[in-house]
Chain A
């Protein structure tokens, strides 16, 4: 599920989840407590919880920083600098989870918070039928991890960021846009984890997302079309905005894809031109088409049709009241031959790949991160599971994909990076298109919807090109495709190679009640799916 971000007031300003309170820009660069001080505070919590009767405790002392910039045309609409600082204490007492959090990070405040967590666990244990079983996790001692980056986005002056966005907006307007909004999102999670297992982990996690929407209106006809940025949110610093030529991937018809470096101005120019072209583009004839899906589009389809259905908590029914359950049930997995996709489909989960949103050293349960297979040669082989779940799969080690979006939120199973492996044989996008007789090439994230068990989905995109007899035959409009997850992945017939591999990302993925956000990447190369049902979304009102 993706946060739609709508709500009463949504029309006034782009509404995005902000955690914490506004602070001065300079404050974002203030040094925080050193690891030794954090360890001391954490030990206060561990001891206090143990004294109250907890059999297991973990502590997360977190400082979460966000800087969000919003502009339209020549105006800065809003700048958000926010900081959230506090401690979350999770315990097991009477075999039941309890959780409490406080912004009062003093020994007294921490002790009270630990006592509350234990009291909640004991109170809730009246409802509990089976005690919580945790997969063993050996303490890792004192560890530190930091997102590898060369430019800390928080050290770049706001002035420079505004200058960039004004350049982006200007480029779009000069190339035919009627309106443009552009945004920069920066997140820094400084979190210290400690547990009664003997782990003391200090992590410094950075994420970035530059994006925009270009609108072209045609006054005479009353039509309007938009084109969003084809950037990807990344687990990187400001260097993602360097626009390095070596990280650009040339596609058909002068189209450009971006790997680990993004040229925002260049993309804004392309967006304005494409949005203009969309106004007069041919409306699609519904029917079956072979789809050639760009990684910047396919990522969301992977997210919704593979990422969510293989979350073990969904499979078990813990999300039944909101996000739903899953068609990828344990009995299907147990057969060891459930055909999720064609033999070409190899999907891996990881929280380790550089530049991705999921990459960290340890998850929010102190488990070292790793990579594991979800679908191998088309067969469903595993799920995403955390410490209190993996025993259901007969495993003894957590997958390391537990996450909380703030110190004040309780950690739970969240999606790691879920990615489609590229072809091992050489193949470019042009090679792939050459082989398609009747198809559509789709780029960018558009409208998306999938049922609560992840069978039936519908996806749109940002730009669509008709493929006729191996060549791009011009732009199409009003395109969306519908399919069934298993049918769709079994129609996967060809993949491009690793030179075309890129990540797509979701910066505000929503799950749980109350809802928590999370950021996740999905890598793939351009991939072909045969005979997919395409509908026409044009209407008259």
Chain B
């Protein structure tokens, strides 16, 4: 059997598995994926690898007693065994008070996240793409360390109420750090796509080389509050800490940045600048994602923050039922709307500020305020009177993305970025922020 099943193959397989069920309710989840990667450092290939993964999970329920069993080898005899095993576990399990039963069939949006171009990536493609990058760094006497990883796969689910969902997808992520031979300059680039035809490793490498050369001989600025222009790669790693904390239950329980005095959540309150619009849309052509969430709920277009107001929170089906509201699944993608300003325009309109191209080692300092710490890395520049004056030494910052989005000056045009912390892809605009707090200097290059 192939690893990547078509929709009809997946459907037939799910039906076969479900046909063995004797439980009150049954749900089948399957996935298959193939991954490949090539890693290089010091201008030479260091490691390469490939991974094939498939998995079938059966959840059976008798009343509120639930059991889950899994297999990774697909064979006729294993399908019945895994169903029996999940039923056996369900009978032994204590009642799960938060079990709300399987979902009725849903209607899903159409989203195209599978590209034949990416699905066809082979080791030769990876070697060729990396060679294009290495040729440039070697010929310019720069030192490259990079990573190229591609993935194709699908996931599908079916339950005893007749729900069926299927979603195939592909992705390719490329990241590269280019250092000057004396170690005084460093530049970075990361690109993520669903369609590999959009990936140009040579063009990306030129960006990293340019940043690396431009960051040599950085000067120290005093730590303090500065106007900053965050490139989307830098903004993403701060903003995703907001995305991860959209959970209604934590907010209602009083342990989230969205909790407030008196025991209520901040739902429907303005929490950031009114120009901030953060939403999810699985059908967005630049960031296609699954039209269904892990539990089978339809992942529809939804606003999280609109006009600066927190409009929706994630409600698990259990928490929604308990609070008598509609469930809201966890998003399958996150997009921040932007403006029209180009990077050049953002810089040109800045009298005194700092251009941040990448942030590193972001950690939450205080969950109450989402205060984060981390450092600038691989190219930080001083802007004066609308032009980049010179590279500056890296800073440590202590800042909350909530405070940051209240200090918003201008938004640029969103672009697809790869989080350097979590590898997640987002659409994020470059942004100009006033009074961003840098707390100390770092000697790191």
Contact = CB atoms under 8 A, between A and B. Distances in A.
Interface in B151-208: 175-177, 179, 183, 186
Given A4-B363, A11-B245, A458-B373, A484 B149 contact: no
Interface in B386-445: 394, 396, 398, 400, 402-403, 421-422, 424, 439-445
A453 B46 CA distance: 21
Contact of A11 (B70, B176, B247, B260): B247
B361 A450 contact: yes
Given A448-B363, A539-B371, A12 B444 contact: no
Q: Could you tell me the dominant secondary structure of chain A's interface residues?
A: loop
B362 interface: yes
B97 A75 contact: yes
A538 B403 CA distance: 13
Nearest to A11: B247
A215 interface: yes
Interface residues of A, number: 72
Interface stretch (A31-39, A121-129, A422-430): A121-129
B263 interface: yes
Nearest to A102: B52
B350 interface: no
A123 B143 CA distance: 22
B123 A317 contact: no
Interface stretch (B12-20, B35-43, B107-115, B337-345): B35-43
A514 B146 contact: no
A76 interface: yes
Given A4-B421, A179-B255, A484-B443, A408 B51 contact: yes
Contacts of B381: none
Contacts of B382: none
B279 interface: no
Nearest to A450: B361
A400 interface: no
The size bracket of the interface on B is 35 or more
Interface stretch (A134-142, A216-224, A390-398, A517-525): A216-224
The residue in A75, A222, A539 that gathers the most chain B C-beta atoms within 10 A of its C-beta is: A539
Contacts of B71: 21
Interface in A29-87: 75-76
B245 to A, nearest CB: 7
Interface in B330-351: 330-332
B440 A410 contact: no
Given A179-B253, A541-B257, A452 B360 contact: yes
Contacts of B40: 127
A127 B46 CA distance: 9
A493 interface: no
A254 interface: no
The residue in B316, B362, B364, B439 that gathers the most chain A C-beta atoms within 10 A of its C-beta is: B439
Interface of A: 1, 4, 6-12, 21-22, 24, 75-76, 97, 99, 120, 123-124, 127-129, 178-179, 215, 217-224, 226, 316-322, 324-325, 327, 408, 410, 412, 447-456, 458, 460, 478, 480, 482, 484, 513-514, 533, 535, 537-541
Given A10-B244, A452-B360, A458-B373, 18 more contacts: A6-B421, A8-B332, A21-B72, A75-B96, A76-B94, A179-B253, A219-B262, A224-B259, A320-B177, A324-B444, A452-B375, A456-B440, A458-B398, A478-B366, A484-B443, A513-B147, A537-B371, A540-B369
Closest 4 CB pairs of A and B: A222-B261, A456-B442, A320-B145, A453-B444
